[in-house]
Structure 1
């Protein structure tokens, strides 16, 4: 909700290679990358354990989780660490940790910042902040970094979801009371005083996600519940902001009902007239996908059914970024098992098709997912989780990607396969290469220093077809010629080695 969006660039025509699933419209790569941010990770401080929640206010990113230490990027565990008990903030421009260091006695599971950027609210398992009683939720002033005195709703158990609109803070989690009044897993308090509001949807099981439409007229809640106010509402609902009553939301029916396993909503993000919903299943083969719905009518716009739990999503402009352990997307006409786990992906907000962004993380032994939380200030994407490596380089718990021009370079093309079986002719073929933040690349074949021909082709990390099999008639019998291939994303150029053949 209420995100700064990036304008997209109209795509030039792209010639699709055979056997490649149709991808999202590809942006012109004049910046060197095709989506809103590059796949090149920028220097960022790390944490010593999982980051569960992220939020942005101005030039600050707030992170909460299971960590108790932070350290500069590139440092191994234990080197140059600073104490940060479950919560910390970082500079969006440099990636460095700030001096903000509240002392909490328990983990943080949720963070939200007010739309005006003046306040940050944290929720979790803690009961004391800086030696002061705070029952599972607390508010800080962004300007002073200090705990807001007098704002102290007493929540009975974990707060795992937060959202703020106007003068209202919406809470979700595993609690049953707020200020001694029954509030089963959903509640609302005022931003100014923390006073409990009448809003009471009464969920029968845990709530993991809350977000509001950009105009503040709808509250979207998700989790593992099956009823709200005693009426069947499985995993997802669209609610009135005042009384908590549910509006019809046909898209919720796209989430399978519990059978031998259960699918829970883990994250919700809204942008414009769309709300995006991420799910994680409790067992093998459970629904783990993403759906997009209309924020007014609740009607389903599209659905992705990839297997591999989706924990975090963030919409920026034309793109929806997701953190998951996607490993089988055959249901969407894309990669299947055996291609690896794709922890970070981007999908087109209009149709769910995969776009040009393929950075990598691993997954730690806490959740085995990797990315668990994302946030953006509009021209960047911060990712937190239980990972230990990003793009193959050690980086624990936290990373960021920006729109700084350059992007990832295409992999160097292989030496082409060259044969000559007919007098006065050669046959040249070569495969496509991988670019971590572009689908469409332009390939140019050179004979010596002479440009022979260029092609534009699509390729994904899991599908890299032959770009062309080209017959060159511009050679003479007995001549020895060499060929090489260049690949470019519109900004970066890589050159492959040459292959030589004697023309028959």
Structure 2
């Protein structure tokens, strides 16, 4: 029996093929979801205040921030709490806390783990750890959880950013000295000994973000600074790992220079292979808040996404860049959402071209927090993504401060399709009209239309949840006059199937 499929799109007509975004395929890499991790929130403990920093070593996730308590999954504030002062560690597999519980006297703003997984370094505003003097920075053994007694650099003010590569710990923040020697907002110490290195890029304002390229040849620094070693380098710099000299970095020109109405600065940096990804946040209406990608080896710009709403945190996994932001206008991106659609705190972009991808779980922002922006930190591997921030809920359920997503098969299910609208003709035809649905970790969904148990049409369409729902139509023919037929629609995302209600029609 021959079938005819007609697209009837609400509003302006759209050719179905045009709905497919450019960039990587949206087909599920793991059945049930289409990016590296699903949008399903996995079980994890919570915090009683903001998480500012995350890092992973082996099967342990370290979280630092403003919190002083952690609590069990699903519990509301004040219930099932355990003391953790500004730093905690969680099991990556279960989301439960480990026994790691140092006592700090001030917040943590940055965490880095050594590539060999043996050491974890934390930075922030604290001056003591377990009653022992530590000036804004401290190191712990991952194996034992103990403070490294002989490792004691003295940093003069807040440590906001950390990165470890080879035998060096790179430090960024608001300080003007390390160990009594001038180091303006950037400096480095040896990983095992903690003694000061000659690395001295000399930034003229605070540093918010640091990362080292995967090949260990470049340090990337970001923040509200405008010069490095006296030369102009606004908000983003690519530095020599030994001398601290700044390389020519053409991609940095994509960050607009400040004006009387607009200022933007780098908030986070993440490297993967020969790419470096940079997130920005602006002050002022319409200022640059998006993400850019550059090539490590050449420094050239690869792409730039211009979504509005400061991007506080990013993490690159495979061909995807996950972002924590308070994005409210991505109309500049293909198939993006316009202003007025709400705040989209968690999104993913293609690492290839920056276009929005198939992942949009939801959080909120704590209106009583100091930041009030939602997600603030990310860490992840090929199999999981951890998100920290000032949020109170994730996917509509209580989950404060920290959450995690994994690549466990299944993912979120599509929405349940509504009953189709049927139109029968005396020529033995039935026109079956149905609306699309959306899935929070898939864009491409398969719609199967059934007459009873017989499939009369199967088509794949792309939908984003912020778009108006679209309508499609299948024509069934060769039906007997006077007979009654029943139809329903099923939607498939690669693993999960949702069946809509059935409706019947009589052929006149």
Distance 1:33-1:298 versus aligned 2 partners, 3 A rule = same
Report Cα offsets for 1:356-415 as digits up to 9, x if no partner: 111111111222321110101321000000111111111001110111111111111111
Query: 2:30, 2:46 → 1: CA distance?
Result: 31
Please say if 1:475 is aligned against 2:475.
no
C-alpha RMSD of matched pairs (Å):
1.4
Partner of 2:338: 336
Correspondence 1:25-424 to 2 at 5 A: 25-28=25-28, 30-259=30-259, 260-333=261-334, 334-365=336-367, 366=369, 367-421=371-425, 423-424=427-428
Partner of 1:462: 466
Deviates more, 1:395-404 or 1:26-35: 26-35
Contact persistence 1:29–1:491 (CA under 8 A): no
Please say if 1:436 is aligned against 2:440.
yes
Query: 2:381, 2:29 → 1: CA distance?
Result: 22
Report Cα offsets for 1:78-136 as digits up to 9, x if no partner: 11100000000000010001111100000000000000000000000101110001000
Report Cα offsets for 1:296-330 as digits up to 9, x if no partner: 11000011000011011111111111111111111
Partner of 1:453: 457
Contact persistence 1:53–1:109 (CA under 8 A): yes
Query: 1:490, 1:71 → 2: CA distance?
Result: 35
Distance 1:416-1:397 versus aligned 2 partners, 3 A rule = same
Query: 1:422, 1:31 → 2: CA distance?
Result: 43
Query: 1:267, 1:159 → 2: CA distance?
Result: 14
Is there any run of 5+ residues in structure 1 with no aligned partner, and where? 1-14
Q: Normalised by the size of structure 1, how large is the TM-score? A: 0.95
1:421 Cα shift? 5.0
Query: 2:448, 2:382 → 1: CA distance?
Result: 35
Query: 1:122, 1:23 → 2: CA distance?
Result: 37
Distance 1:323-1:291 versus aligned 2 partners, 3 A rule = same
Report Cα offsets for 1:215-238 as digits up to 9, x if no partner: 100000000101111111000010
Contact persistence 2:28–2:35 (CA under 8 A): no
Deviates more, 1:102-111 or 1:327-336: 327-336
Report Cα offsets for 1:138-160 as digits up to 9, x if no partner: 00010110100121111111000
Distance 1:30-1:162 versus aligned 2 partners, 3 A rule = closer
Runs of 4+ that moved beyond 6 A: none
Correspondence 1:4-43 to 2 at 5 A: 16=16, 21-22=21-22, 24-28=24-28, 30-43=30-43
Query: 2:469, 2:366 → 1: CA distance?
Result: 33
Query: 1:256, 1:303 → 2: CA distance?
Result: 12
1:22 Cα shift? 4.3
Please say if 1:426 is aligned against 2:430.
yes
Deviates more, 1:162-171 or 1:416-425: 416-425
